[in-house]
Structure 1
Amino acid sequence: MKRILGKNGPLVSPVGLGCMGMSGAYGKSDDTTSIETIEKALELGHNFLDTADYYLAGHNEGLIGQAIKGKREKAFLSVKTGQLVAAGTNGAMGPGSVTGRPEFIQNAVFYSLRRLQTDYIDLYTPARVDPNLPIEETVGALADLVQKGVIRYIGLSEASAESIRKAATVHPITALQIEYSLWSRDIEKEVLPTIRELGIGLVAYAPLSRGFLSGEFKTPEDLKDSRVNMPRYQGENFYKNLELVEKIKSLAEKKGCTASQLAIAWVLAQGDDIITIPGTKRIKYLKENIATEEVNLTKDDLHSIEAIMPAGIVSGTRYPERFLNALNR
């Protein structure tokens, strides 16, 4: 059953597909397999496809463009923009590498349209809030694109409650994309109440905390990509967090589901105004993620999960220190 994204937004699948990993963000990927995974998501009625123009310099959008050819009406395209990526960093974010300048956005969107092989984008989102520009100017540029029919809905990502309120004075904001999982619950204090007050939907990315909550990683050496630079997956933090995941795995086994499904189901259980976009590049895991919608968490289940992973229990931050200033702006 689909959910309404935002107060007056579109109907989208509760479990969407995060496509970033299809462009080398977490190890090698195969284009043919990735395209087949996107096609299968649409075949199964899961229409929310999330990408960004900076995922391997547009490669990700190109994959989606091929996958949705001839079936554009089945897809809801969510595209992020405005993150300037240095050559060779494979999507890594650097300090000061964000722009929300109107001229940049109004130019970038047309390159995205070309790669996606479409004449409109459903949800267009600045990847981060530009610290050197009033958010109202960025949203004003997006509102102009709505008027032109180039995009249908406006999103924000990793924005503070203050920025969200300012943005909403210029044009209705349909969704906030932000990390939200059993491990990342900072938004519960201020951001989540704010978007609910304003009728903005939540698109929760990294519901599995970049795969760690699946329980598949046993040592730091199992991670051979950008995750090795993230404090949560390093040294003592890794093993402290692994203990929590093992408890979640045990709870999932009793429930008759996987640890991944339990973690995704927890996110969806936090409100009907929330959808989530676990990333995968394989049909096997896509089907497992989609099956989460059949996992019904009771009040007792939620209490048990909370007892294991209360807010703030995770060891280590989700990004290195130098990247944290780009969050909650």
Structure 2
Amino acid sequence: MRYRQFGRTGWSVSEIGFGAWQIGGTWGKVDDAASIRTLLHAFERGINFVDTAELYGAGHSESVIGEALRQWKGGKIYVATKAQPTVWPNPDDPAPRVRGRFPEWHLRANVEASIRRLGVERLDLFQLHSWGPMGHHELDWLETLNDLRVEGKIDQIGVSLRDNHPEEGVALARLGLVASEQVIFNMFEQPPRDALLPAAKASGTAIIARVPLDSGSLVGSWGEDSYATFEPGSQPHQMFRGDRFAETLRRVAVLKADVAPFYSQLAEAAMRYVLAHDAVSVLIPGMKSSEEVDMNVRYSDGAAFPAVLMDLMPRHAWVRNFYR
């Protein structure tokens, strides 16, 4: 496992982290004992960064991680969690309010609940879920979180940007108001490369790249019948509804053709594409088994992403919003 600096925090984090949405239960049925074994296996393989949220199973993901932390006897594991706003922004609103959406009572209640579920004295990284573009000057949220830092309840502050809007974090990165920003970044969702990654690198803001495998499509194993296997009501069943699944398969097939001369597996190309950007501190694929951990960890070897293939990537850019 290779490690990277987490922005200007002084942390050294595994460049491949553990995305813990899937172990919360909203991606289908989960076995908590199996999830704990998977987490412990990830820690043994050198993963020392886990990303979760209150939203992931109404705190269930946090509770499972907390049990894994209690059983772990090794080195430091950094855990990042999130608080959702009191009102989710409309995905069609270009400038949703931030002021008042993360009030003091709400943030304090979330911090205390996350501390309890994780079984820790202080949260390593506390992020605001679905932070909006008005938030760099509507700063009531930052006042509360700074107080919580002084009180020793949280160490670092971060935000998780709205899906498909990496440009909303550029001003925040330039100002250096938070330690980290989390953003969708993968072979389809490429816009963070334009302005956010350069701004973050210049200010020492850590970048957490989420869904590097595009919620499963970039693993490359889906077929025409795969959607029927998704549990009704689960996150992937909702995301790829209607004609979205067929369109995704079509685009994956085209991408595979470009990747084939360089990689035998699309998943390897997808992971290495994100790792190729040095502004990224950590990418956080979801993992539900030890086998998936091993698959992801083996890409942390420093191998370069082919320049010829990188030049082909813009033709595969595909920005969409699953929540519309």
Alignment TM class, shorter chain as reference: 0.7 to 0.9
2:278 to 267, 271, 284: 271
1:194 to 195, 199, 205: 199
C-alpha deviations, 1:84-131, integer Å up to 9, x for none? Answer: 599xxxxxx999898322221122100000000111111110011257
> Aligned residue for 1:74?
76
Range 199-208 or range 185-194, more displaced = 185-194
> Aligned residue for 1:226?
235
Aligned length: 307
Separation of aligned partners in 2, 1:9 and 1:128: 26
> Aligned residue for 2:140?
137
Deviation (angstroms), 1:58: 0.7
The one-letter amino acid paired with 1:179 is I
Inter-CA distance 106–318: structure 2 relative to 1 (3 Å threshold): same
The one-letter amino acid paired with 1:210 is S
In the alignment, structure 1 residue 116 sits paired with structure 2 residue 118: yes
Inter-CA distance 161–238: structure 2 relative to 1 (3 Å threshold): closer
Does the Cα contact within 8 Å between 2:167 and 2:192 map onto a contact in 1? no
In the alignment, structure 1 residue 240 sits paired with structure 2 residue 241: no
Inter-CA distance 221–116: structure 2 relative to 1 (3 Å threshold): same
> Aligned residue for 1:313?
317
> Aligned residue for 1:210?
215
| Moved segments of 4+, more than 6 Å | 93-98
In the alignment, structure 1 residue 23 sits paired with structure 2 residue 15: no
> Aligned residue for 1:34?
35
Range 69-78 or range 112-121, more displaced = 69-78
Counterpart mapping for 1:247-326 below 5 A: 247=257, 250-251=260-261, 253=263, 258-271=265-278, 273-294=280-301, 296-298=303-305, 301-307=306-312, 309-310=313-314, 313-314=317-318, 317-321=320-324
1:100 to 88, 99, 102: 102
TM-score, normalised to structure 1, is: 0.82
> Aligned residue for 2:14?
13
Inter-CA distance 39–239: structure 2 relative to 1 (3 Å threshold): closer
Deviation (angstroms), 1:26: 2.1
In the alignment, structure 1 residue 154 sits paired with structure 2 residue 157: yes
What are the ranges of 5 or more consecutive residues in structure 2 without an aligned counterpart?
A: none
SS of 1:128 mapped into structure 2: strand
SS of 2:67 mapped into structure 1: helix
C-alpha deviations, 1:140-198, integer Å up to 9, x for none? Answer: 211111111111111111166565535875x7421111110111112222222222222
Inter-CA distance 311–276: structure 2 relative to 1 (3 Å threshold): farther
The one-letter amino acid paired with 2:159 is L
TM-score, normalised to structure 2, is: 0.83
| Cα-Cα RMSD | 3.0
Range 270-279 or range 159-168, more displaced = 159-168
> Aligned residue for 1:165?
171
Separation of aligned partners in 2, 1:111 and 1:261: 37
SS of 1:127 mapped into structure 2: strand
Separation of aligned partners in 2, 1:139 and 1:49: 23
Separation of aligned partners in 2, 1:269 and 1:16: 15
Inter-CA distance 292–317: structure 2 relative to 1 (3 Å threshold): same
Inter-CA distance 293–235: structure 2 relative to 1 (3 Å threshold): closer
Sequence identity percentage? 25
SS of 2:7 mapped into structure 1: coil
SS of 1:211 mapped into structure 2: helix
Inter-CA distance 312–250: structure 2 relative to 1 (3 Å threshold): closer
